[in-house]
Structure 1
């Protein structure tokens, strides 16, 4: 094929380049997965009822293919009908197979039902075991137990289209949706649980926190745990469980007239100081509070923040927390503040506000790694898809934390890592003794790629 000339030179193109891939970065995903033993551990959370003598693609290979493809940006099952012949992605499977599994095989993996006839449902995922594996992978990521950890909990929405099981209209989001629950610890994912869209945001939160805390303390019995969330999780059963089980908490608290009345003194001081200085004023205070309805078993400490400036109405925020002056969480954070408001200021700014970073983790899971692709009719299939996206997130996080530290991609989001590190064009040449993958000389992230290989490759 001849194209328009480039100066004095003709431009000729032909399909004669041999085996070429656009996903040479899958090599790094492969090494990261092997370090975690990820897919063998995931496979142990399934029942495989297939006849072993007739199996071409092992369960481990199927999970490897599906999760790695999501990390590479291929979220749909029908993508695999073309991907199964990609020379780089074939390295994820059995070397004796000429191609990876087709979409039909992967579809049976995702859509199996637990109590169905095994002749037609060969795979049975144990969803609770997969959720526990997320916690185990987090625990395994530490060489020694930390002194204290913060668990962030939050709910979000996954919009549904059609009549998926469990999809209901939600008044806050104003569309039909699921209401998944996430728990994270820093960059690590500990829970990705799909829930129907017609429930309270905190429904089931106590049970999952109870399970996660028990699993953490079985390995780290002395670790101090703080649970952090927004006002949707201020429920008496969850708060009382935390108080009885040595789990500290700090939650947002919805504003109401009674709380505003109890904060009237600090609100008045902020208004007076704003008028005197004609500049924005920020004040913090704290007080003991129990709702008039007696829905709390006892009074609890409430943190109040008042922000008043000349061009906006006064804004007041409240938190409820178990943290106090002599708490191990609060003491180091108060050292940078002076005055009577050192405790509430430290709790609000240094301990509660970092909760917002969890929104980035949810974005990573749902947008960058396609956790929001809940297009199956069956509820269990959509839950499994959400978990597979969660494990793709775990894989990308391990690649970033262990392989890309001290590189330009050390804090990159999964989509950035995918575009700059995984989407690498290469020519693949196979001989009897080796497979050589030749990547471009002009690849701009060569240093980051080499550092990741050095950190992840077997020694």
Structure 2
């Protein structure tokens, strides 16, 4: 019963992806799309509202600065300090040929010192479930954090090593790297909380805690791992060792 939300940039704004997600149970999508004249025209009133709101905030500052400074460039610098006006609009939209049906498009309109900026996302989430502003900030914007986690897996665990000759073997490699990431993330979450490594990246955890020189002694009853007394992370290792023993074995 897991709900899956597919996020993506405008390269994924394709009918095939929309259609697939719409025909899967418990799957929704929020995907960026490029602007066009039709969408911009339908957002005209919101653009005017954002522009009017920004100019209203700018007017008293402009009057004050005009009385204090004569250089135009000083005024331009001050304009950048005025908060950007942001508005959202939700519409039903269908392309002329490529889309099979109307879909919900949310437009984010920003007006500031650099003029007008617009962003659009197409989504399967209905307006009755989530309003335009929350959809953009709560559902689409976390895509950046998601991509940071993908980058962490690629750089710190070398998950982009897909150099074998077949698709299946490359897929298996990616799965193994993904399992490793899940394990290290669970280790960070359960064993490193309230330590200096509680928010450390996977790469730092590997470097500081896992890639240590140690002496290993195996007896018939136990395995003894001895690390150097000068190890700077021995306190954290001790805490992690105690906590990992309390995790129930679900195997």
TM-score range, shorter chain: 0.7 to 0.9
| 1:250 aligned onto 2:30 | yes
SS in 1 for 2:140: helix
Equivalent residue for 1:406?
A: 194
Equivalent residue for 1:305?
A: 108
Find 1:357's aligned residue among 145, 150, 155: 145
1:305 CA drift (Å):
0.7
1:298 CA drift (Å):
2.2
Q: Distance in 2 between matches of 1:275 and 1:401?
A: 47
Q: Distance in 1 between matches of 2:160 and 2:112?
A: 39
RMSD over equivalenced CA pairs, Å: 2.5
1:304 CA drift (Å):
0.9
| 1:283 aligned onto 2:87 | yes
- 1:260-301 CA-partner distances (Å, limit 9, x unpaired): 2222221222223323322322111211211123x2222222
Q: Distance in 2 between matches of 1:380 and 1:227?
A: 23
Aligned residue pairs total 222
CA distance 1:320–1:379, shift in 2 (3 Å)? closer
Find 1:323's aligned residue among 119, 122, 125: 125
| 1:273 aligned onto 2:15 | no
User: Could you tell me the TM-score, scaled by structure 1's length?
Assistant: 0.44
Equivalent residue for 1:314?
A: 116
Q: Distance in 1 between matches of 2:96 and 2:55?
A: 33
- 1:46-104 CA-partner distances (Å, limit 9, x unpaired): xxxxxxxxxxxxxxxxxxxxxxxxxxxxxxxxxxxxxxxxxxxxxxxxxxxxxxxxxxx
1:369 CA drift (Å):
0.5
Runs of 4+ that moved beyond 6 A: none
Find 1:235's aligned residue among 11, 14, 20: 14
Q: Distance in 2 between matches of 1:301 and 1:276?
A: 31
Q: Distance in 2 between matches of 1:437 and 1:346?
A: 51
Question: Where do residues 388-399 of structure 1 align in structure 2 (5 Å cutoff)?
Answer: 388-399=176-187
1:382 CA drift (Å):
3.9
1:426 CA drift (Å):
2.4
Query: Relative contact order (C-alpha < 8 Å, sep 6+): which is higher?
Result: 1
CA distance 1:380–1:288, shift in 2 (3 Å)? closer
Structure 2, unmatched stretches of 5+, are 59-81
Q: Distance in 1 between matches of 2:101 and 2:164?
A: 45
1:240 CA drift (Å):
2.9
Q: Distance in 1 between matches of 2:220 and 2:57?
A: 80
1:233 CA drift (Å):
2.3
